[in-house]
Amino acid sequence: MASEDQSGQYPSTADRSQDRSLTQEGDEEYPVTGFFPLDKWSKILLALIAIFSLGIFAPVFLDRGLTIIGAPWLFYAYPISIIILSGSWLILTYTVVE
């Protein structure tokens, strides 16, 4: 198995990647808890995925026979959620998300 070099880089893939220079980062002190930072829009979309997933399934588990406009709840909940979430994220990747 490949071993780590002194800079802390991963040698077996690092040479394939771009811009591996560490400069002064090797002296940084990293917190050992919490998450690495994520941008605001990504967090919002992750939250929306969780909310929409809950919104799809909670009504069905409460009442499997639930219908709207003559069709089961899932018949409308799935496509609406898919289009809203995937369309929104696609637009965000070309506008505000770096």
Which residues make up the interface to other proteins (CB under 8 A)? Answer: 1-2, 4, 8-10, 12-18, 20, 22, 25-26, 28-39, 42, 45-46, 49, 52-53, 56-57, 60-61, 64-65, 70-72, 74-75, 78-79, 81-83, 85-87, 89-90, 93-94, 97-98
CA–CA separation, 91 vs 89, rounded Å?
Answer: 5
Q: Pick from 88, 66, 85: which is nearest to 75 by CA?
A: 66
**Which H or E run includes 79?**
helix 73-94
Distance in Å, CB of 8 to other proteins, minimum: 4
CA–CA separation, 22 vs 40, rounded Å?
Answer: 26
Distance in Å, CB of 41 to other proteins, minimum: 9
